[in-house]
Amino acid sequence: MARHAFEEQLDVLHRSLMSMGTLVEEAIHKAIKSLVERDADLAQQVIEHDTMINELEHQIEIGCFRLIALQQPVGSDLRRLGTMLKLVTDLERMGDHAVAIARTTRRLMVEPYVKPLIDIPLMADHVKAMVRDCLNAYITRDKEAAREVALRDDAVDKLFSTIFRDLIDVMSSNKQSINQGTHLLFVAQYLERIADHVTNICEWIFYLNTGKMTDLNK
């Protein structure tokens, strides 16, 4: 396979990866929106669209393996394919977390919220921005941007702790809210997980640029 053919194939995979990233961003956005606005239809959409994310993951994986087999790349070309293989795993898991949030929306439709959701959408805004910015850092192969994004995980962890404490307080003062409170705690945890996956991706952007794994946020 000629050089330009390799680049072309890689470009196709790259575009699929970007589509996958966009779908994941949308899934997170819609899942949280469905939760805040109690929109069961939107939640259902998130659940159904996850198939597309999984499908893209498999397509990209198979595409990477095929390209490795045909082109037998070395050095930075191989790193680009290796990084892509790792990235799709993280993106797919983020999509699963969005689905878990959408399922929570449906579970919580039976009762009104004890109090309006404020910190969860705030945490989601942070996380969505991290997802977008890490995908941009990947496209531009900007390792300093990746490092900056990974550091933002601390703010997400802090928000998680705040939400945890607040929900425990709410549940303690009103035992009718315990079921709802625990489900909302899970939602906050899904968001925290998504941010962890972003950190993984940032570490892979580092690897892509330097050939070395770096612990960006532990």
210 interacts with a second copy by CB under 8 A: no
Where does the chain have alpha helices with state H? 3-37, 40-71, 75-107, 119-139, 143-151, 153-173, 178-210
Q: Token match 């439709």: residue?
A: 109
By beta-carbon proximity to a second copy, the closer residue of 9 and 179 is 179
CB of 93 to a second copy, least distance (A): 8
- Please state the closest distance from residue 82 (CB atom) to a second copy, in A: 5
Question: Is 33 or 82 the residue whose CB approaches a second copy more closely?
Answer: 82
Choices 15-23, 68-76, 108-116, 117-125; region in contact with a second copy by CB under 8 A: 68-76
Structure tokens at 137: 């850092």
- Of 2-10, 12-20, 82-90, 150-158: span binding a second copy (CB under 8 A): 82-90
Cβ neighbours of 216 (radius 10 Å): 19
Q: Does position 103 bind a second copy by CB under 8 A?
A: no
Q: How far is the CB of 65 from a second copy (least distance, A)?
A: 5
Token reading at 61: 């994986």
d(CA 162, CA 119): 8
Task: Give the chain's radius of gyration (CA, Å).
Answer: 19
For a second copy, the binding residue among 15, 58, 115, 158 (CB under 8 A) is 58
Query: What one-character DSSP code corresponds to residue 212?
Result: S
d(CA 147, CA 210): 13
Q: Give the whole-angstrom CA distance, residue 142 versus residue 125.
A: 22
Work out which of 2, 3, 41, 69 binds a second copy, going by CB under 8 A: 69
Residue number, 25 or 203, with CB nearest to a second copy: 203
Which of residues 40 and 211 has its CB atom nearest to a second copy in the complex?
211
Please state, in angstroms and rounded to a whole number, the distance separating the CA atoms of residues 186 and 162.
14
| Residue 161 in the binding site for a second copy (CB under 8 A) | no
Site for a second copy in 163-202 (CB under 8 A): 164, 167-168, 171-172, 175, 178-179, 181-182, 185-186, 189
Token pair for 50: 């996850």
Q: Determine, following the binding rule CB under 8 A, whether residue 9 of this chain makes contact with a second copy.
A: no
| DSSP helix/strand/coil, 117 | coil
| Residue ranges binding a second copy (CB under 8 A) | 58, 61-62, 65, 68-69, 72-75, 78-79, 82, 85-86, 89, 164, 167-168, 171-172, 175, 178-179, 181-182, 185-186, 189, 213
